[in-house]
Amino acid sequence: MVTPKKRAFIAPSLKIMPRIQRYANFVAVVLPFAAFIAALVLLWNSAIGWTDLAILAGMYLISALGVTVGFHRMLTHRAFLTYKPVEYAFAIAGSMAVQGPVIDWVADHRKHHAHADDEGDPHSPHVGGGTGLRGLWHAHVGWLFETNGQADRRKYAPDLMEDRGMRLLNREFPWLVGLSLLVPFAAGWLLTGTLVGGLTGLLWGGLVRIFFVHHITWSINSICHFHGVRRFATDDRSTNVWWLSLATLGESWHHNHHAFPRSAFHGLRRWELDPSGLVIRGMRRVGLAWNVVAISPERQDQRLA
C-alpha cells in the first residue's frame, strides 16, 4: 500500500506523463539500442554491406537535418522563412528521427530556452534531475520518462497550433515513425533485389540509425550544458563542444545558439563546422530560404563575456 508520505515522494514524476506514453518512450529508447546490439552480432558473422551503410548515411542525413534545420532552426526559432510545402517536408523528415511529434518537440524546446538551466527546463543536467552524473542522465534520457512532451502547446507553440498541416503531421506522428522504418526497408529491397537486403536495410538504416540520431541529439541536451567552452554572457550553462560538431550537424555550438537563438548559423567562426548552416546557405542561394537571420561580428563582440 502506498502511504500518503510515499505517494508524495513518487508523485512528481508519475503525475506528469501518462503511463502509455512512458511505455512508448521506453520502447523507442530500448528497441533501437537492442537493434544496435543485434547489428553488432550480425556484423560479427557476416559483414555489413555498402548498401546498408549508404542507406544508414542517407537516412541519418534526412532525419537529422529534419531535426536540426527543420524542427530546430526553422520551426522553433524561425531563423529563416521558406515555402509551406518545404516546411512540411522538413517536419516529415524531422518526425522520422522518432523524437516525438513536431509540435510537442517545438514546445519542449522553446520551454528549454525560456527556462534554460532553471526551474521549468524540461532537460537540464543541473535542475530537475539532480546534479553530477544523475543530472547528466536526466538531461540525456531520463527526461523522456518525466517531462518530455509536457510543455503547454498553446503557450509555447501557438503559431504551429494554428497551422492545420502541422496539426495533422503532429497527430499522425505514428505513421511517420512507420515511414521512417519503411523507407530503409524499401531502399534495401530495391537496391539488392532481396528480402534479406530489405531486412538489413531496416536494421541499419532504420533502427540503428534511430539509435545514433537519438543519442547524438540528446548529447546536445546533456553534454552541451555540462562540459565544453563558453565565450558569451548568457544566463544558462550552455557550452560549445567542438568534437560533436560534425555528428550533430553543427548543433553542438550550443552555447553560441543560446547567446543568439534566432541565428540560422550556430557555427559563428570560420572554423566552427556547421553543416546545417551550410544547408540553409545553400537553400538561400537557390531561393528556398529568405529572411535568413545572421549575427554581425559587432553584435557578437558586444555579447562577449
Residues that bind Zn ion (CB under 5 A): 238
Q: Looking at beta carbons only, is 203 or 264 nearer to Zn ion? A: 264
Q: Looking at beta carbons only, is 147 or 238 nearer to Zn ion? A: 238
Tell me which long-range contacts 158-162 makes (C-beta under 8 A, separation of at least 24).
160/75, 160/102, 160/103, 160/106, 161/103
In the complex, what is the shortest distance from the CB of residue 3 to Zn ion, in angstroms, rounded to a whole number? Answer: 38
Closest CA to 14 of 170, 150, 156: 150
Q: How many residues are present in the chain?
A: 305
Q: Looking at beta carbons only, is 219 or 238 nearer to Zn ion? A: 238
Q: Looking at beta carbons only, is 187 or 214 nearer to Zn ion? A: 214
In the complex, what is the shortest distance from the CB of residue 42 to Zn ion, in angstroms, rounded to a whole number? Answer: 36
Cell numbers describing residue 24: 512508448
Cell numbers describing residue 148: 518530455
In the complex, what is the shortest distance from the CB of residue 237 to Zn ion, in angstroms, rounded to a whole number? Answer: 9
CA distance 157 to 198: 38
In the complex, what is the shortest distance from the CB of residue 128 to Zn ion, in angstroms, rounded to a whole number? Answer: 13
In the complex, what is the shortest distance from the CB of residue 56 to Zn ion, in angstroms, rounded to a whole number? Answer: 26
Q: Looking at beta carbons only, is 209 or 266 nearer to Zn ion? A: 266
Place of cell 543530472: 135
Residue nearest to Zn ion (CB): 238
CA distance 260 to 282: 21
